[in-house]
Amino acid sequence: MKRFWKTIDDLGIPRKVLDGLVIEGSRRGWRISTPELDKIPKTPNDSYGLLAVRESGKPTSFFLRAFHKHIRRTVKVNLEELEALLSNGQVEKKSESGWVLITFDEIPIGCGYSNGKILKLEMPKDDIKRMTAGLNNLLASKK
Amino acid sequence: MIDREKFGPLPDEFFQRYEELLGNKADKFFEYLVKPLRPSIRVNTLKISPDELREKLEKHYGWKLEEVKWVGYAYYLENIIQNPGATLEHAAGLYYVQETSSMIPVIVLDPKPGELVLDIAAAPGSKTTQLCQEMENMGGILANEASRGRIAILYNNLKRFGAVNVRVRLGDGRRIPGEAIFDRSLVDVPCSSEATISKTWLTAKRWSPGFIHHLSKLQKGLLRSAIKLTKPGGTIVYSTCTFEPEENEMVIDWALENLPVELEKVKVKALEADRGLPGFQCSDEVLRIWPWHEMEGFFIAKLVRVE
Ligand SMILES: C[S@@+](CC[C@H](N)C(=O)[O-])C[C@H]1O[C@@H](n2cnc3c(N)ncnc32)[C@H](O)[C@@H]1O
C-alpha cells in the first residue's frame, strides 16, 4: 500500500480525490473501485474497477487518463515531441523525474518516465498503435 | 421501386412483411433503411466538457460538430473523411462513437450516482459507458455479457473510458444469481438487428421468421431475469434495434401479463419519435425510432417493478 500512495503523492494527485473509493492490492497491483460494487454478488473470474498502479509502482495509462484533471506532474509535449515519442519511444526533454502523465494540447496521452533529461513513453503497445493512428490523422488534416 | 441490391441477401418474406405492416409507409421505410446516417459521438463527460472536446476536434481534424440537443453530451460529425474512431482524443477515451438512437435507453433509464444498476447484455459497452458517465463514476454497475469474444471489447472500452464503478460478469443473463438488489436495470437484448441491415450483411443473411421467434424467447428470458433482480419500485428499460413486433411490443405485452411490472410512458424531451405499433396493450407508452427519423431504428419500453 505504501508504494501505491508514493505513486499517488509523486504524481501530485490530492489524496482526497480518491476518498470514498476502495483501493485493493492484488498480484497485478492496486485496483480502484466503488464500495457499492461489493454489494453485487461475485462470480469466479469476474473483473471490477480499474487497475491504477502496478506492483512496481508504475501507474497505468488508463488510470492517468481517468484522473488527468487532478495530476500535477504532467509533461506537456508539442507535435514534434509527440511524433518522436510515438515512433522512437523517447525524446530529450527536461522535466521533473519519475512517473509522469504526458499530455499534448491538454489531451492525456499516457504514462511516461523521466530521468530529468530524457522522457520515455511507458504505454502498452496497443495503446501506442491507437495513438499513432490518431496522430497520423491529425498530421494529414494539417496538410 | 426499391433497389434490392442494397439490402444484401434478405429474403422476399422480409419485404412482404413490412409492406403488410406499414402499408403506404413501406416505400419510405425501405428507402431510409439503407440511407447512410450522419456519424455521431458521445462525449466522456467524466474527462472533458462537450465544449472543450468540440474545440479540439474542430481544430485538430477540421470536422464540424453539431450538438444533439436532446442528449446534451453528444454531437453529429460533419465534414469528416477520417474514421471517427482514429484520433488522439478517441484513444485517450475522451469520447465514444455511437449512434444517437442507441443513447436513448440510458437517458430513459435515468440512473443516479450511488445507485446499483444492472446492464444484462452489455458488450461492447456503449450503454455501460454511458451509464458510467450518467452515474458520475459512482455507485455500482453489473455489466453482464454471455459472449467471451465480445467481453474483451467491453473490457477495453471500460478501461479507455476510465470506469471504476463496473463489475463485469461473463455468463448467461438469464442465470444471474442473487436477490432483487438493483435500483434500475437495462435490458438491451440481442435481437434481429433489422435497423443495422445496411451496415452488416450478416444481419440480412441470418434473418428468418424462425430466428426472430428464437430471439423473442431469449428476450423474454432476459427480461424476466432483470425484473427478478430489480427492487420493487425500481425501473427497467427494455430496448432493441429491430422493428419486429414479436421482439418488441409482444415481449412487453407478455411481461405485463406474466411478470410483476407496470408500464410507464417513455418520454424524451425534444426527441422526434413515434409510439408503438397499434393494437397492443403497450402501444401508447413505448417509443419507436423508424429509419425516417434519420436515426438507426430502435424500440424502447419502460417498466416499473411492483411487489
Ligand atoms: C444488442 S447487444 C448489446 C449492446 C450493448 N448493450 C451496448 O450498448 O453496447 C446484445 C448482447 O447480448 C449478448 N447476449 C446474447 N445472449 C445473451 C445472454 N443469454 N445473456 C447475456 N448476454 C447475451 C450478445 O453477445 C450481445 O453482446
Q: What is the pLDDT of residues A16-74, one digit of tens each?
A: 999 999 999 988 999 999 999 999 998 888 899 999 999 999 999 999 999 999 999 99
pLDDT score recorded for residue A143? 81
Which residue shows C-alpha cell 490530492? Answer: A14
> Does B263 have pLDDT greater than 80?
yes
Q: Are A17 and A58 contained in the same domain?
A: yes
Chain B residues within 8 A of A34 when measuring between CB atoms: 137-140, 164-165
Which residue shows C-alpha cell 473509493? Answer: A21
pTM above 0.90, yes or no: yes
Domains B40-97 and B101-305 share a fold: no
CA B65 to chain centre: 22
Which residue shows C-alpha cell 412483411? Answer: B17
**What would the mean pLDDT of B115-129 be, rounded to a whole number?**
98
Containing structural domain, residue A105: 73-141
Q: Are A27 and A7 contained in the same domain?
A: yes
Nearest CA in chain A to B55: A105
pLDDT score recorded for residue B179? 96
Nearest to residue B42, comparing CAs of B86, B83, B101?
A: B101
Q: Could you tell me if the CB of B147 is within 6 A of ligand 1?
A: yes
> Does B224 have pLDDT greater than 90?
yes
Show which of A19, A40, A68 is a domain's final residue: A68
**What would the mean pLDDT of B29-40 be, rounded to a whole number?**
94
CA separation for the pair B80, B186 (Å, rounded): 32
Q: Could you tell me if the CB of B39 is within 6 A of ligand 1?
A: no
**What would the mean pLDDT of B25-39 be, rounded to a whole number?**
94
| B6-21 per-position pLDDT tens digit | 887 888 999 999 999 9
Q: Do B91 and A133 touch (CB under 8 A)?
A: yes
Q: Do B82 and A62 touch (CB under 8 A)?
A: no
Show which of A68, A84, A105 is a domain's final residue: A68
Name the residue among A34, A46, A130 with its Cβ closest to that of B164: A34
Nearest CA in chain A to B137: A34
Mean pLDDT computed over every residue of chain B = 96
B187 alpha carbon to ligand 1 midpoint, in Å? 9
Q: Are A28 and A77 contained in the same domain?
A: no
The 3-state DSSP class for residue A114 equals strand
Give me the catalytic one of B132, B191, B241, B282. B241
CA separation for the pair B19, A44 (Å, rounded): 49
Chain A residues within 8 A of B165 when measuring between CB atoms: 33-34, 36-37, 49
- Give residue A104's identity as a one-letter amino acid code: F
Mean pLDDT computed over every residue of chain A = 96
The CATH number fitting domain B40-97, selected from 3.40.50.1820, 1.10.1760.20, 3.40.50.1000, 3.30.70.1170: 3.30.70.1170
| Pure H helices in B110-208 | 126-134, 148-161, 201-205
Q: Are A93 and A40 contained in the same domain?
A: no
pLDDT score recorded for residue B3? 77
> Does B106 have pLDDT greater than 80?
yes
B49 alpha carbon to ligand 1 midpoint, in Å? 30
Q: Are A127 and A108 contained in the same domain?
A: yes
CA distance A97 to chain B (A): 23
Residue B302 burial by Cβ neighbours in a 10 Å radius (0-12, 13-18, 19+): buried
> Does B266 have pLDDT greater than 90?
yes
pLDDT score recorded for residue B63? 96
Question: What is the enclosing helix (H) or strand (E) of B263?
Answer: strand B261-264
In the CATH scheme, what is the homologous superfamily, with its name and number, of domain B101-305?
Vaccinia Virus protein VP39 (3.40.50.150)
DSSP letter at B257 equals H
Please check whether residue B176 is in contact with residue A56, taking contact to mean a CB–CB distance below 8 angstroms: no
Q: Are A134 and A120 contained in the same domain?
A: yes
Q: Are A122 and A93 contained in the same domain?
A: yes
Q: Are A81 and A129 contained in the same domain?
A: yes
Reported ipTM: the value is 0.97
Q: Report the CATH number that the domain containing residue A133 is assigned in CATH.
A: 2.30.130.60
Q: Where are the domains of chain B?
A: 40-97, 101-305
Q: Are A62 and A77 contained in the same domain?
A: no
**What would the mean pLDDT of B120-147 be, rounded to a whole number?**
98
CA separation for the pair B58, A108 (Å, rounded): 18
Question: What is the enclosing helix (H) or strand (E) of A50?
Answer: strand A50-54
Phi, psi for B114 (deg, rounded to 5) = 95, -15
Nearest CA in chain A to B47: A66
Q: Are A91 and A47 contained in the same domain?
A: no
B241 is catalytic: yes
> Does A100 have pLDDT greater than 90?
yes
Show which of A15, A48, A68 is a domain's final residue: A68
> Does B1 have pLDDT greater than 70?
no
Q: Are A115 and A58 contained in the same domain?
A: no
* Percentage of chain A exceeding pLDDT 90: 92
pLDDT score recorded for residue A46? 87
Which of A27-41, B33-47, B137-151, B192-206 has the lowest average pLDDT?
B192-206
CA distance A2 to chain B (A): 21
Please check whether residue A91 is in contact with residue A104, taking contact to mean a CB–CB distance below 8 angstroms: no
Count how many domains chain A has. 2
**What would the mean pLDDT of B173-189 be, rounded to a whole number?**
98
